[in-house]
A and B are shown apart, each in its own frame.
Chain A
Amino acid sequence: DIVMTQSPDSLAVSLGERATINCKSSQSILYSSNNNNYLAWFQHKPGQPPKLLIYWASSRESGVPDRFSGSGSATDFTLTISSLQAEDVAVYFCQQYYTNPITFGQGTRLEIK
């Protein structure tokens, strides 16, 4: 199975500042034939369903604010929130869909400093 490891486990950032969350896969999730990275990012707030933010590592889901962006390739990926808003407090997790079984990062808890 592909192991997804996020860092840090928790993060406190001031309002308006940049937040950066990392996700590392135990093997490459870049499919060379289409040059796509098979990685998604989700936001999960208590009492709510997880929400899709990013797919194909850098494609923003419709309706997601443009302060959220994804980057990276092969084994190392980053979710960046360019200017943290109060409503961004949540757990963020990555998911690989390169191969079965689908696997997830352990989650990063983002708080306001």
Chain B
Amino acid sequence: QVQLVESGGGAVQPGQSLRLSCAASGFTFTNYGMHWVRQAPDKGLEWVAVISYDGSIKNYADSVKGRFTVSRDNSKNTLYLQMNNLGPEDTAVYYCAKLPSMKTMTSWFDYWGQGTLVTVSS
């Protein structure tokens, strides 16, 4: 069955960096675009970034553009989110999510991971 397992979260100070990983299994990872979505404490969900199935197309939310970089290693079935210059506003649970089709990058998500918590505080 499809599994998405995030890791790499933790507590960091403002200005520091963190890299999140999302290990995928149970499907052909190379065929699907992937998204990152986050949820700050007591807030709604916020879309963060998307990457196409082959890594050639990437898009970011305005709130993270220039600071976050999404990437993937299809040989390792793993999605990444490199987060630089973190601020308190980036404190959230970060989820990776899978697209249902390789034909689009804007769609519903058919599978999500359980999330990894990032806390940015001095």
Contacts and interface: CB of A to CB of B under 8 A. Distances in A.
A80 interface: no
A95 interface: yes
A112 to B, nearest CB: 22
Contacts of B45: 93, 95, 104, 107
Q: Is the interface of A mostly helix, strand, loop or mixed?
A: loop
Nearest to B2: A49
Interface residues on A, range: 20 to 34
Contacts of A55: 100, 108
A103 B111 CA distance: 17
Contacts of B114: 47-49
B108 A52 contact: yes
Given A49-B4, A49-B95, A50-B95, A101 B47 contact: yes
B113 A49 contact: yes
Interface residues of B, number: 22
B25 interface: no
A40 B111 CA distance: 13
Contact of B112 (A50, A100, A105): A50
Interface of B: 4, 35, 37, 43-47, 59, 61, 95, 100, 106-115
27 contacts: A40-B108, A47-B114, A48-B114, A49-B4, A49-B111, A49-B112, A49-B115, A50-B95, A50-B109, A50-B112, A52-B108, A93-B45, A95-B45, A95-B108, A97-B106, A97-B107, A99-B106, A102-B35, A102-B47, A103-B47, A104-B37, A104-B44, A104-B45, A104-B46, A104-B47, A105-B44, A106-B43
